[in-house]
Each structure stands twice: as structure tokens, then as C-alpha cells.
Amino acid sequence: MSDISIVEEATSIAKARPSKRQSGLGYDTRPNAPWGLQRISTAATVSGSAKAMDYTYSYASGGLGQGADIYIVDTGIYTQHNAFGGRASVVWSHNNDTTDSDGHGTHVAGTAAGDVLGVASNANIFGVKALDSGGGGWSSNVIAGIDYIIQSHDARKANTPENNTHFIGSVISMSLASSGPVQAINLAIQAAIHAGIHTVVAAGNDHSDACNSSPASSGGLRGGAITVGSIGMNAHVSSFSNYGDCVDVYAPGEDVISAWIGGRDMVNSLSGTSMATPHVTGIVACAMQGNATLAGDPGLMKEWVRMMGLGVSTGGDGDGGVVVANNGVKGGSGGGGGGDGMIGL
């Protein structure tokens, strides 16, 4: 018929999307990322050099934690680092010194919420300096820091002049460990969770039962915190990582590149459950966006984090494997280029 130009099978059409969104996949991607960001946003195998910055980070929402408050309980934060884009501040210090002379807190903050380097790249970053320049400290300072966070969260949640009108919730990130269980720390974390604050903690680096130290023992089957162990690029549990019933999920913790002290563009590569923890912190901050139910319920968030995780076999006989943290995006390419106890990293 002269009125018909062509005959073609119908196909689905969607509105034009930004160029960074891969057509038909339903998620955004960001290049030039550390390997850990690809690991938490794909179900595929990740391979390549851990030192390279040529991996792809995939995420479901471009908001990337905007409106979420992340409290980094650590050695402080080098807030002038370019990775933070003016979003970072140190709001509490056990000794009134707000600088990070150790670098550990800056590295953790970079993975949790740094530009390019981090998971929740639009979240607010608040440093709570409970550890000293050598990376150690006292349980009393950690507890005092948590108490400050609860008060800050309550103030921002309420309709006060200090409140951010775009505030959606708070998450505490604790990359530290004690030599044994500290009941006072676990009770402080329980209070934070009761106040509606999501709490993500490191499993520890002794290759032993995570239930034997705090704050790790406040998670898993023992409590409401989310305790994070470490895996390498091969998704096997790191040789140093603690394990057991107190661990909820595992995340990238070997050769993790993140922000560092000494210059606005400085980066460093570190390993430990300290590095794994902020990956999950960032996932929680992003998950709060657009989901008021998750944002206000740490218990449901913990269930969601475990539900989104990927079951990975560790290769041992009769071993059921581990749960590897995932942000809900399963696609993407796998290639790449009590007492006053002493606290330590």
C-alpha cells in the first residue's frame, strides 16, 4: 500500500535519560571508581588490579545519599580534601582538636561518601573524633561521641533552627575495635539504634570470633548494629577478618583506595575491616533516600542490607559461604582494570 512506508515490530520506548545511564539497564553508572565500588554494585566477578581506578560504580538513584547524615567515629577527618566537596566537618572531638593527624578517619570518610572514591557521594559527612592521632583511645570517648550523635540526630530530626529541611536520617560508621567486649559501648549503640540511627561497625582484624570485641558484638545475631567483615577482590573472606555469628555482611576491605591526609588530592591504599565498613555505611545512606520506612527503622534496614547481599561460596568443604554487601544493583560488567577499655583500629 502506498500509504505504508515500513513495517516494523513494536518496541518499548522510555523518555530520554542522561548519557551516564546505560540504556535499558535501569541504573546509573560512574567510571574511574575503586574496585570496591564495583564489587558492591554488581553480581558479576570483579577482576583486575586493586590499585587501578578504572572500575565502574553502578547505582539505582542519582541522589547518592543526599540528605543523609553520616557520622564517622574515628580519628577525625581532613575536611579540606577535594573528595568531600565542602560536605565534611568535624563536629565533636574528645580533646577539642578537630584535625586528623592519623589519616584513618579521612580514609573511612572517603569510602563512605567521597566524590569519585565513595558510595554515598552526596551525603553530609560529620567527623566525631573519638580516637587520637595514633589511632587509639578510650571507650569513654567513644561512648561520649555516640551520645553527641544521638543529641545531634534528635535536633536535626526535630523542627529546630539547626534542622536541615532535607534531612532524611542518620548513620553511624565505626571502624574501630576493642580487645574484648565492652558492654558500655554496646549499650550506647543500642541507645543510638533505639533513637532511629543506623549503626554500621567493623568486625575487627584478629581472624577470630567477632563476638569477642566491641562494637562488633553489637551486630549479627547479638544486636541491631550491622557488623561488617572484609573480603578481597576474589570475594573470599580476608585472612585478617573476624567472622562468626556477630557478622552480618562482608564488603571490600583489601587494597582499598580512598582519601588521605597531607594534601587535597592525596589518596592511600589500606586494608582492614575498617575499610569494609564504610562501603556498607554508604549503602545504608543511599538506601534511605526515597524510602521513609527504611530510613526510620534500623531493624528493617539491617534486614534489607542482608537481603540485598549476594551469597558467595568461600570454597570450603561444607561451607555455606558468606553474604557480600550489595547496593541492590546486580548488573554491570565484572571486569576492570563497662570499664574504660582501650580502643584501637
The CATH number of residue 185's host domain is 3.40.50.200
Q: What is the mean pLDDT of residues 198-226?
A: 97
Q: Which one of the listed residues 28, 58, 69, 74 is annotated catalytic? A: 74
Cell numbers linked to 117: 572514591
44 lies in a domain? no
Q: pLDDT grade, residue 105 (50/70/90)?
A: very high
188 lies in a domain? yes
More confident residue, 106 or 161: 106
Q: Which one of the listed residues 81, 104, 153, 198 is annotated catalytic? A: 104
14 lies in a domain? no
Distance CA 83, CA 113 (A): 8
340 carries an active-site annotation: no
Distance CA 276, CA 50 (A): 14
23 lies in a domain? no
Q: What is the mean pLDDT of residues 179-189?
A: 94
Sign of torsion, CA 304 73 107 126?
A: positive
Per the structure, the count of domains in the chain is 1
pLDDT tens-place string over residues 288-329 = 988 999 999 999 999 999 999 998 765 543 345 799 999 999
Domain that holds residue 234: 63-324
pLDDT tens-place string over residues 79-101 = 999 999 999 999 999 999 999 99
232 lies in a domain? yes
Contact 233, 47 (CB under 8 A): yes
Q: What is the pLDDT of residue 27?
A: 86
Q: What is the pLDDT of residue 51?
A: 93
34 lies in a domain? no
Cell numbers linked to 37: 565500588
Measured at the CA of 112, the angle between CA 321 and CA 169, to 5 degrees, comes to: 100
194 carries an active-site annotation: no
274 carries an active-site annotation: yes
Nearest to 141 by CA among 101, 81, 188, 86: 188
Q: Number of C-alpha atoms within 13 angstroms, CB side, residue 110?
A: 30
More confident residue, 16 or 227: 227
Q: Number of C-alpha atoms within 13 angstroms, CB side, residue 328?
A: 18
1 lies in a domain? no
Q: What is the pLDDT of residue 320?
A: 52
332 lies in a domain? no
Cell numbers linked to 99: 584535625
Q: Indicate the length of the chain as a whole number.
A: 345
Q: Which one of the listed residues 152, 198, 274, 279 is annotated catalytic? A: 274
Q: What is the pLDDT of residue 226?
A: 98
Distance CA 168, CA 157 (A): 8
Task: Give residue 92's region: left, alpha or beta (phi > 0; psi -120 to 50).
Answer: beta
